[in-house]
Amino acid sequence: MSHKAMSQETKVLIFLISFVILLYGASSMFFAKEAYKELAILMEVIQKIRDEYVESPDMNKVQDGAMRGLLEALDPQSTFMTREQLEEYEKRNADGSVGAGMVISKRSDVFYVVSVEAGGAADKANIRPGDYLLSVNAEEIHNKNLLEVNNLLRGVPGTGAKLTIFRGNQTSSQDIDLTFQEQASVHVTSRMLDGNIGYLRIVSLKGASVEQAKVNLKTLISAGADKILLDLRGCAEGDTAAGAEVANFFLKDGVIYFSQDSNGEKLDVVTASPEKFVTGLPTALLLNGSTAGAAEIIAGALKDHGRARLIGEKTFGIGASQKTIRLKSGAALILSTAKFSTPNGGIIQGEAAARKSGIEPDFESPDTGRRQELAVEAYYDYDEENDTDKYRMIQEKIRQIQLDKALEVLLGAENPAESMKKAA
């Protein structure tokens, strides 16, 4: 295949690959040299497909597949969408459909349930954090991107979907029927606990949740709270701006988070505004493996500033911003262009394979020994009939263990840092 005879599809593919390579560090001459060596290999593969594949290949499909693979090799949020896929995505998001009440991500190229909204459609269908999603309505999803799968997990309230999932404590997959429903409008609750502790739970940072959190926080303080327990367990929805605003309730000044590009250069530094500050009361924060995204902005900021002690489990680790780049063909690239860092420079979304994502708690709860005991209890006398009841019982035990630990920390048994009061 001569350069002049090269197809338009191949030219587009070369342009895309070159764009990504340049975006991710072509300023380094050595890197650029190595990257273009890889590009030459890719072009050789494309030529071999055109010339020697057993059938006449559809080069449009080859191009789309190559683009998809190229982007999705970067991280779960980056992807390529054809014009048709993009139109379907936009149509479904504009037709009054609702989500399934769960947040998913990708681990080892398999779709993974990060969190489930209490009382939502997924929760009522007994879908759990940690489940692996294999298909939707008998359509396998291993070759789809995150946006496509999220699109499949939307529907008009009252309609349903059949999901096939795999669960770690079972030997085979199972089908689950899910009915879409209107999502809750109240994502924040609060109450007073013994010891003048104000308990504030945020399960989502979407919509009016930030304002709800502010009102509830002020109400707790007015009711006499002299310590705050902020519960972000299972909170995985909402954008970074919402997370930054809630963090600002507890911080009078200083950096909340910043983003940085592939070269480590700071792109955006978000700082606390004194007028949005609400309280400097001693604070503890509950988190778990389903705490993700905007909630991790809060956890990272309060931990780094010494404003809260973190109790529970390591968070999931979702912290990157995406840019949508429209192509002339009508297709689009969704490309991660920056990662979010905590005030002290900790990257929230690191290398998943190396388990470098997420924020570590100050106090792991349950600790390793208690977690092993609970694991044995969960598997003891297992059968499908009592699986759901036993799961909920174990989860409630974990939640109570974590709550008890947080109360212990707040009440002084662990000598909370005096710096927690510095913003008072």
Comparing 289 with 76, which gets the higher pLDDT?
Answer: 289
Domain pair 83-179 / 188-320+336-421, same fold:
no
Band the pLDDT of 17: cuts 50, 70, 90: low
Residue 28 has pLDDT above 60, yes or no: no
Q: What is the pLDDT of residue 9?
A: 52
- Lowest average pLDDT, out of 138-152, 188-202, 370-384, goes to 370-384
For residues 132 and 110, the answer to whether their CB atoms sit within 8 Å is: yes
Band the pLDDT of 36: cuts 50, 70, 90: low
Comparing 33 with 239, which gets the higher pLDDT?
Answer: 239
- Lowest average pLDDT, out of 20-34, 170-184, 216-230, goes to 20-34
Comparing 391 with 297, which gets the higher pLDDT?
Answer: 297
Whole-model pTM? Answer: 0.81
- Lowest average pLDDT, out of 111-125, 180-194, 267-281, 352-366, goes to 352-366
Q: What is the pLDDT of residue 76?
A: 77
Kindly report, residue by residue over 197-239, the tens digit of the pLDDT.
Answer: 999 999 999 989 999 999 999 999 999 999 999 999 999 999 9
Peptide linkage before 416 cis (omega within 30 of 0)? no
Residue 308 has pLDDT above 50, yes or no: yes
CATH 1.10.760.10 fits 188-320+336-421, yes or no: no
Average pLDDT over residues 63-71: 72
Residue 39 has pLDDT above 80, yes or no: no
The listed CATH number (2.30.42.10, 3.40.50.300, 3.10.20.70, 3.30.70.270) that belongs to domain 83-179 = 2.30.42.10
Q: What is the pLDDT of residue 27?
A: 41
Average pLDDT over residues 235-246: 95
Residue 25 has pLDDT above 70, yes or no: no
What is d(CA 396, CA 298) in angstroms, rounded to the nearest whole number? 24
Q: What is the pLDDT of residue 353?
A: 44
Q: What is the pLDDT of residue 357?
A: 83
Cβ burial 284-305 (10 Å sphere, 16+ → b, else e): bbbbbbbbbbbbbbbbbbbbbb
Helix (H) or strand (E) holding 260: strand 255-260
Where are the chain's structural domains? 8-73, 83-179, 188-320+336-421
Residue 153 has pLDDT above 60, yes or no: yes
Q: Is the dihedral of CA 146, 148, 149, 150 positive or negative?
A: positive
Q: What is the pLDDT of residue 15?
A: 52
What is d(CA 299, CA 310) in angstroms, rounded to the nearest whole number? 7
